[in-house]
Amino acid sequence: MVVGVSDLLDIFLLSLASMFNPSLLAALTVMLLLPSPKRLMVGYLLGAYTTSITLGLVIVFSLNGSSATSSAKKTISPVEDIVLGALALVIAFVLATGRDAGFQDRRREKKDAKLKAKQEAGKPTESLPLRMLGKGDPKVTFVVGMLLSFPGVSYITALDKMAKLNPGTVQTVLLVIGFCLMQQILLELPLLGYVFAPEWTQTTINRFKAWMGRKGRPAAILGAAVIGLFLVVRGVITLL
């Protein structure tokens, strides 16, 4: 079966969503602050690839045997687009109007209370994966990469789409590997940068952090709005 451009776009958009994994971002931040970040990132990536690619292949080929019929696909797929698109538009609306401020405040207060309680009890304030990363050992980051790379919602959704496409064994394997490479790109890019242009990479990372502090929210609003509108319009057109 030949995979269409629209199908690839769906999977690509899901891979973009899976990139923004809070655990990955936290791990990347820790590794960048430790000595020999290149070795640590290589260890993490190898662990992440081991888990994500292996489980991805197992899941997609399991789903392949139980995929719905083509008539069911034509009905379910547009509805999925509309639901996901509407959810993205709601997220954009909430961020644009600042309606998430109360939730963020409550979350921050709860986090501060937990942190204070741990400090008073003399317990570690960081999660176990972050404490393991702090050891600065590539073998440890390999294990952390494995533990933090189990398939999330975006990956599971993409695997389901791959199974329904049923493009063939080789193409399916390539799609899974491509998705796994894409979802780790926030780690792969600085790693390549540290290898070929370390000074430029560090400067760029510092600038990106500053830009995210200033423009991160508007960028998230625009991205959610564009993706949401695209999915809703395509879902409606498909149903009609």
Lowest-pLDDT range of 57-61, 88-92, 211-215: 211-215
Q: Average pLDDT, whole number, for the chain?
A: 77
What is the mean pLDDT of the segment spanning 17-32?
76
Q: What pLDDT was estimated at residue 178?
A: 93
pLDDT in tens, 85-120: 888 888 888 878 877 666 666 666 676 666 666 566
What is the pLDDT confidence band of residue 164, given thresholds at 50, 70 and 90? confident
Q: Could you tell me if 34 and 140 are in contact, meaning their C-beta atoms sit under 8 angstroms apart?
A: no
Lowest-pLDDT range of 16-25, 101-110, 125-134, 173-182: 125-134
* 213 or 40, higher pLDDT: 40
Q: What pLDDT was estimated at residue 203?
A: 85
pLDDT in tens, 122-146: 655 555 555 666 556 788 889 888 9
C-alpha to C-alpha distance for 124 and 118, rounded to whole angstroms:
7
Q: Could you tell me if 30 and 130 are in contact, meaning their C-beta atoms sit under 8 angstroms apart?
A: yes
| CA-to-CA dists, residue 189 to 3, 129, 148, 201, 203, angstroms | 28, 22, 19, 9, 14
Q: What pLDDT was estimated at residue 51?
A: 94
Helix axes 138-147, 37-64, angle to 10 degrees: 30
Lowest-pLDDT range of 95-99, 129-133, 167-171, 181-185: 129-133
| Dihedral in degrees, nearest 10, Cα atoms 25, 31, 33, 37 | -130
Residue 68 has pLDDT above 60, yes or no: no
Domain extent at residue 69:
5-239
Q: What pLDDT was estimated at residue 73?
A: 46
Q: How many CB atoms lie within 10 A of CB 90?
A: 12
Query: How many folded domains does the chain comprise?
Result: 1
Look-up of token digits 């690619």: 53
